Amino acid sequence: MMIYVLATACLLFLLSLTLDSWILLLLSLSAALLPLVEVLMGRAVLSLMRVRLLPRDHELYRLLDFVPAGWEVMLGVRRGPPAAYAAQTGFRSGVVVLNDGILDILTDDELGAVLAHEVGHLVEHHSLIRIAALALSVINIPVGTMLGAALSRRLEYRADEFSVVSTGSPHSLASALVKVVAARSGYSILSGFSPSLNNVLALFSWTPSLESRLRRIEEFSSKVCSR
């Protein structure tokens, strides 16, 4: 991912010199700075969310046995309803944050599947892609927001696929998602709207519906198993 970002920045820079375009020059500088912005934002989020980092000898680290070589992933906890997040803290390091509510409702296998999903976000630098999409959406807010939301939903599917491949347990991920969504159902702002309005709002939603994710996990795992 980082190679692609830097290659794009170099390409834009060369084009800006060839075409003598200050817009392309600005874009190339922005692209070159994206990895730095991603890390700064990840660290800012950790500090704003008051995350408590768990020491390396904490028992939860035994569930993180799928972290790719060369990567350093820490675990953090904070108070809150069932949820998990990933924050990039370096080019090959990050923190997976667990709200304490999630620890009460998931089994170890389900928690491992959720951790793998979040590690998937980290190793594929999904927050960098989201920042770039957010920046580009400023050009045309309605179209940009819809495209950004579609891209963000795609990243959720990608992280689910990473989890399935890493743990080999699509059922653990699926049951974890069902439990988390059930526990948070009172928080959904879409729950009070009509189905047709929900379909329109779903186009602008940055996370896919539970039904879509379960269907994709099922399709992906049967594709992987049939190879």
Residues that bind Zn ion (CB under 5 A): 156, 159
Q: Which is nearer to Zn ion, 9 or 119 (CB)?
A: 119
Q: Which residues pair with 77 in a beta bridge?
A: 52, 98
State the distance between the two ends of the chain, measured CA to CA, in whole angstroms: 26
Q: How far is the CB of 29 from Zn ion (least distance, A)?
A: 29
Q: What share of the chain is helix, strand, coil (3-state, %, to 5)?
A: 70, 10, 20
Q: How far is the CB of 98 from Zn ion (least distance, A)?
A: 13
Rounded Cα gap, residues 205 and 179, in angstroms: 20
**DSSP code, position 206:** S
**DSSP code, position 94:** E
Q: How far is the CB of 219 from Zn ion (least distance, A)?
A: 18
Q: Which is nearer to Zn ion, 124 or 218 (CB)?
A: 124
Q: Which is nearer to Zn ion, 187 or 193 (CB)?
A: 187
Q: Which is nearer to Zn ion, 6 or 41 (CB)?
A: 41
Q: How far is the CB of 208 from Zn ion (least distance, A)?
A: 10
Q: How far is the CB of 12 from Zn ion (least distance, A)?
A: 29
Q: Which is nearer to Zn ion, 127 or 221 (CB)?
A: 127
b/e burial code for range 22-45 (CB count within 10 A of at least 16 → b): eebbebbeebbebbeebbebbeeb
